[in-house]
Structure 1
């Protein structure tokens, strides 16, 4: 539903940051400026 669009986008953002952090071995809080679309 359209009202869940923001929540799903945020979930994708969090997932991308987590995967990048795991790949380069840094804490998630150190991953900045990730853009998803």
Structure 2
């Protein structure tokens, strides 16, 4: 994976995590904060 793509792929994972958490607890994605992925 080119190093230029690393941040974009990480951001995709973070967006996915926030979306899944928001859907699970029934809140808008904008209300899900301080999500950290490894």
Normalising by the residue count of structure 1, what TM-score does the alignment of the two structures yield?
0.96
How many equivalent pairs are there? 37
C-alpha RMSD over aligned residues: 0.4
In structure 1, the gaps of 5 or more residues are none
Runs of at least 4 residues off by over 3 Å: none
